[in-house]
Structure 1
Amino acid sequence: METDKLEKHEAMQFLREYNEQEIFYQQYQQKKHDNQSLQLFLKDYDQNNFMQKQIYIEEFLLRGQNEFEKEDTMWLGQEKDIEVRKYSRFMPQLSAIHDFFEMIYVLENEMYVEVEDKKIVLKSGDIAFIPPDTIHKPLVMENTIAIQIMIRKSTFQKVFFKMLKGNHVISEFFLNALYIRENKHILIFHSHLDKNLLDCSLQLFIENHNRFPSYQLIMNNLFEILL
């Protein structure tokens, strides 16, 4: 339906509005302190449905962190290289570990990421790259607007390989993560909401949302421009 399509000028307002996951998480947080209320609330939900909607709560993560690990969980069998979504406000503070690259871009206010027992503050305009197989715990504030861009490891080897040939901090970071695998550090840029980076990131979000023909190719090109 046409009404579901997102225009560029609507993107920030769309991100500020509560989505299905955030509404669920908000209700979940309100019920969590009373076990009886929580069980009544959760019995209306199908656990398998949660995974499809990328809703994560400890009651339904039977295998703990392993639920986060594989690309299949995030892409659900889709043949695409990049997935972009909003970081959910009110989400529980759960440790995550996965086998793809994650880029966090904070658009408004701030959030925290705990990595290896160190709490890192990401302020508005900050961009953080998290390598695969790194345990991290995102802490999203109620008034935070942030997006996460998730990129398959194989995509870097296949699509962005020429980007890795440069002798600079980004190429070093990705080469270490792909081939040496000793890199547990996250890479942070303070972009100060640079207009080009912001436009490019919002366009990535819009392409992922609208899914017009050839959107995957467009997203790959946009991510290359972003890098």
Structure 2
Amino acid sequence: MKIDKDRFNNFIHSYTKDELFYRSLYNAEREHPETFSQYVDTLDRNFIEQHQLYVPSLHDSWFPYISENEFFQTYSQNIYIAKHNRYSPEYLHKHEFYEFFYVYSGTCINTIQGKKQTCRAGDLCIIPPETKHSIAVFDDSVIINVMIKSSTFHGTFFELFTNNNALSHFFSHTLYEKTENNYLLFHTQSDTVIRSLIEDIYIEYYGHKKYSDSLLDSYLMTFWVILLRHHENHLESFLNTTHQNLALPDILNYFQANFMDITLSSAAEHFGFSVPHFSKLVKDHTGKTFVQIIRNIRLEKACRALKTTNLSISSICEIIGYLNPEHFNRIFKETFHMTPSEYRKKHTNL
């Protein structure tokens, strides 16, 4: 799909085949409820199946829970961006990955925690994993959705937030504390920089050009920084907390900065805790052990290097802090069910 920046507004407002299908379905049920069941009987089942469309009267349920592996294996990238299908039936769901949606034009009804609210042009809502939500769009409004793998979010973006700001607190909490139904809502209104960045991300994603993954990472980093710079004071935060007075951002940033040679003992000493107490603190507040967190950081760095560089496996192994390549290969295969070489062959865009 080739998208022209100058004509993006016309492109994004035009109706796709899926949207035309949903609009006809919506109008048939609204205008002629007495004959709607007969209308459904005439629908092209092959088209519905091929396009993975949701027709409530034909489906008992529709992905009420979406796993990260299943979703991103389908799209073979660490992020996914698309226009929300207008007139598609509203359904509550939750998933293992991050999502944010941006109201490009018009309005939508956003339901989170069972509460409905109207989001208007320029509003941007960040929805972390395990938060039940839905979006309803039954007019010509345009909503753009961006899905991001949690590991990508952690490994790529979290290290940016070294300051005590709204996003660093929110992301560290939702990534590592075991709570649900958290979200952030930014009111960017007519911010043309934010709008333009959303367009750039969309165009780059569907352009499938060389080094696209790296450029998308860069766009998203820039996007978060601009969002904070322009709108840190224009947000609503909905955060369920279970712990108080824990400097998780500082701890996790320290892990990110020192993952190559960090040990539980050195980390505990840095923060002034005994080893047993620090180990328990990390596990209680993140749901993961110190070893699991460091392993995840190292593997995320390895995946990025495999996809974006020509470095040898042994060099990558050394860079991320594994002295034994065999040990690294074993851990990698246990985690991703393929060797580093197989991963590079499958995901590289070099």
Band the TM-score falls in, shorter-chain normalisation: 0.7 to 0.9
State how many pairs are aligned. 219
Match of 2:175 among 178, 187, 197: 178
1:50 aligns with 2:51: yes
Q: Residues 45-84 of structure 1: CA distance to partner in whole angstroms, max 9, x if unpaired?
A: 353x233xxx333345555443x41124433434311111
Contact 1:82 1:220 in 2 (8 A): no
Secondary structure of the equivalent of 2:139? coil
More strand by share: 1
**2:151 aligns to what?**
154
Distance 2:72 2:54 in 1: 15
The structure whose RCO (Cα within 8 Å, separation 6+) is larger is 1
Task: Give the CA deviation at 1:31.
Answer: 4.1
1:87 aligns with 2:87: no
1:8 aligns with 2:2: no
Secondary structure of the equivalent of 1:24? helix
Contact 2:174 2:182 in 1 (8 A): no
Secondary structure of the equivalent of 1:13? helix
Contact 2:108 2:118 in 1 (8 A): yes
Amino acid in the other structure paired with 2:165: H
Q: CA RMSD in A?
A: 1.9
Task: Give the CA deviation at 1:42.
Answer: 4.2
Task: Give the CA deviation at 1:129.
Answer: 0.4
Distance 1:61 1:167 in 2: 46
Amino acid in the other structure paired with 2:156: V
Contact 2:125 2:185 in 1 (8 A): yes
Structure 1 unmatched ranges of 5 or more: none
Contact 1:95 1:137 in 2 (8 A): yes
Identify if the C-alpha distance between structure 1 residues 101 and 36 changes in structure 2 by more than 3 Å, giving closer, same or farther: same
Contact 2:130 2:180 in 1 (8 A): no
Distance 2:137 2:127 in 1: 16
Contact 1:113 1:121 in 2 (8 A): yes
Task: Give the CA deviation at 1:164.
Answer: 3.9
TM-score when normalising by structure 2: 0.58
The structure whose Rg is larger is 2
Question: Which range is displaced more, 162-171 or 130-139?
Answer: 162-171
**1:109 aligns to what?**
106
Secondary structure of the equivalent of 1:159? helix
Contact 2:18 2:51 in 1 (8 A): no
1:197 aligns with 2:194: yes
Contact 1:164 1:175 in 2 (8 A): no
- Percent identity among equivalent residues? 22
**1:40 aligns to what?**
42
**2:219 aligns to what?**
222
Distance 1:194 1:173 in 2: 23
**2:136 aligns to what?**
139
Amino acid in the other structure paired with 2:51: F
Q: Residues 5-27 of structure 1: CA distance to partner in whole angstroms, max 9, x if unpaired?
A: 11211111111000122112112
Secondary structure of the equivalent of 1:88? coil
Secondary structure of the equivalent of 2:95? coil
Task: Give the CA deviation at 1:183.
Answer: 4.5
Amino acid in the other structure paired with 2:222: I
Match of 2:164 among 163, 167, 173: 167
Secondary structure of the equivalent of 1:165? coil
Secondary structure of the equivalent of 1:56? coil
Question: Which range is displaced more, 90-99 or 158-167?
Answer: 158-167
Amino acid in the other structure paired with 1:176: H
Task: Give the CA deviation at 1:182.
Answer: 1.4
1:188 aligns with 2:185: yes
Structure 2 unmatched ranges of 5 or more: 225-350
Identify if the C-alpha distance between structure 1 residues 44 and 36 changes in structure 2 by more than 3 Å, giving closer, same or farther: farther
